[in-house]
């Protein structure tokens, strides 16, 4: 029996890739020559991308038989969904299964940054403890947190913050009826009344550089920024300046504007904790994400339906 040809456009975990190869005839996009791609293009009805992929209008247009883009990740801001819709291409992603891991890391970044855990370890390793105690840090319990984006992940973070007796407010496009925390329309206002500003909003074009100089100034010299959404949501140059000038107290960052390149000015700083876009990278969650990719493709092949279509498809 001939296997269905599937285009693998970006990096996927090896376990998922091996499973896909058992079922489908997988072609690596980056390994295809221009001539080979032109010959095979009309045979690909399914393409698999990841959450950091850039899937352009040109790429979608070059695949005349494309029906589905299956994204390994909850974010799909690199996919031109307008072009996909125009070419009648469905898009799936992997929401829900990574919510807890991302929320857990968000809390870890908040604790690590406010209590300067990484700096404290370096302090011991450098032999400085013998000369005196580590400088005092900032309390988390009972403090104020403003959450930018009250989706699945924002809610999961808020739930964890309740365990720290934190005062929770949020900003979103509008009031969310089943969320009982106070809503603040303007993000600058939210920042001005927060000790921690937690960013977990989608990285779409509307949110590019959403957290800018004005909002960082509103957060203030005692405020800490945490970002587990997308690097594009932060004006990175404004953030660097805010950290260097003491406009804000610190930042915990899992995402950056030009990954895997991280500005040197964000490294080796006692008030900045950085992680390599690893919020959902646990064994259990990545396996669950892999299963969801497989399930979406299988259901599409069987019935032209999806387990987890992107919200724009559900709305339509």
Query: pLDDT tens-digit profile of 198-256?
Result: 999 998 889 999 999 999 999 999 999 999 999 999 999 999 999 999 999 999 999 99
Which H or E run includes 82? Answer: helix 81-86
Do 203 and 184 belong to one domain?
Answer: yes
Do 217 and 302 belong to one domain?
Answer: no
pLDDT of 314: 73
Q: Please tell me the distance from the alpha carbon of residue 107 to that of residue 18, in angstroms, as a whole number.
A: 33
Do 203 and 121 belong to one domain?
Answer: yes
CATH number of the CATH domain containing 305: 3.40.50.720
Do 37 and 174 belong to one domain?
Answer: no
| Dihedral of the alpha carbons of 196, 202, 206, 211, in degrees to the nearest 10 | 20
Domain that holds residue 143: 99-274
Do 123 and 71 belong to one domain?
Answer: no
Catalytic residue among 93, 155, 277, 286: 277
Mean pLDDT value across residues 18-30: 97
SS3 225: strand
Q: Please tell me the distance from the alpha carbon of residue 29 to that of residue 69, in angstroms, as a whole number.
A: 13
- Catalytic: 88? no
Provide, rounded to the nearest whole percent, the portion of the chain with pLDDT above 90.
Answer: 95
pTM of the model: 0.91
Do 182 and 67 belong to one domain?
Answer: no
Count: domains in the chain: 2
Q: Please tell me the distance from the alpha carbon of residue 180 to that of residue 31, in angstroms, as a whole number.
A: 50
- Residues in contact with 38: Cβ distance below 8 Å, sequence separation at least 6, in sequence order: none
pLDDT of 316: 52
Do 115 and 228 belong to one domain?
Answer: yes
pLDDT tens profile 64-113: 999 999 999 999 999 999 999 999 999 999 999 999 999 999 999 999 99
- Catalytic: 259? yes
pLDDT tens profile 113-152: 999 999 999 999 999 999 999 999 999 999 999 999 999 9
Helices 152-162/99-114 angle, 10° precision: 50
pLDDT of 73: 94
Catalytic residue among 93, 155, 230, 286: 230
Do 261 and 184 belong to one domain?
Answer: yes
Q: Please tell me the distance from the alpha carbon of residue 103 to that of residue 118, in angstroms, as a whole number.
A: 20
Q: Please tell me the distance from the alpha carbon of residue 98 to that of residue 315, in angstroms, as a whole number.
A: 22
Do 156 and 288 belong to one domain?
Answer: no
Do 254 and 297 belong to one domain?
Answer: no
pLDDT of 189: 98
Q: Please tell me the distance from the alpha carbon of residue 88 to that of residue 294, in angstroms, as a whole number.
A: 21
- Residues in contact with 278: Cβ distance below 8 Å, sequence separation at least 6, in sequence order: 105, 254
Catalytic residue among 28, 162, 259, 312: 259
Do 87 and 103 belong to one domain?
Answer: no
Do 80 and 136 belong to one domain?
Answer: no
């Amino acid at each position: 029996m001939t296997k269905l040809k599937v285009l693998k456009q970006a990096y996927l975990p090896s376990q998922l890739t091996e499973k896909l190869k058992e079922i489908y005839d997988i072609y690596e996009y980056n390994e295809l020559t221009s001539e080979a791609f032109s010959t095979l293009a009309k045979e690909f009805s399914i393409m698999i991308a990841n959450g950091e992929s850039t899937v352009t209008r040109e790429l979608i247009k070059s695949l005349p038989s494309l029906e589905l883009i299956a994204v390994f990740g909850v974010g799909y801001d690199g996919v031109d969904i307008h072009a996909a819709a125009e070419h009648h291409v469905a898009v799936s992603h992997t929401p829900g299964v990574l919510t807890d891991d991302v929320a857990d890391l968000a809390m870890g970044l908040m604790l690590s940054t406010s209590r300067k855990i990484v700096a404290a370890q370096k302090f011991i390793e450098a032999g400085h403890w013998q000369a005196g105690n580590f400088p005092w840090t900032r309390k988390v319990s009972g403090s104020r947190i403003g959450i930018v984006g009250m989706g699945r992940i924002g809610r999961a973070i808020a739930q964890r913050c309740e365990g720290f007796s934190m005062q929770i407010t949020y900003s979103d496009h509008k009031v969310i009826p089943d969320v009982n925390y106070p809503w603040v329309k303007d993000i600058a206002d939210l920042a001005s009344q927060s000790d921690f500003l937690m960013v977990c909003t989608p990285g779409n074009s509307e949110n590019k550089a959403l957290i800018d100089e004005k909002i960082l100034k509103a957060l203030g010299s005692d405020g800490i920024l945490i970002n587990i959404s997308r690097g594009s949501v932060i004006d990175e140059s404004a953030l660097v300046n805010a950290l260097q000038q003491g406009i804000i107290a610190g930042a915990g960052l899992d995402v950056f504007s030009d990954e895997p390149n991280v500005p040197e000015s964000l490294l080796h700083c006692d008030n900045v904790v950085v992680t390599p876009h690893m919020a959902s990278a646990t064994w259990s969650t990545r396996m669950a994400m892999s299963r969801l990719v497989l399930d979406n493709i299988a259901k599409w092949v069987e019935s032209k339906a999806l387990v987890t279509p992107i919200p724009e498809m559900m709305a339509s």
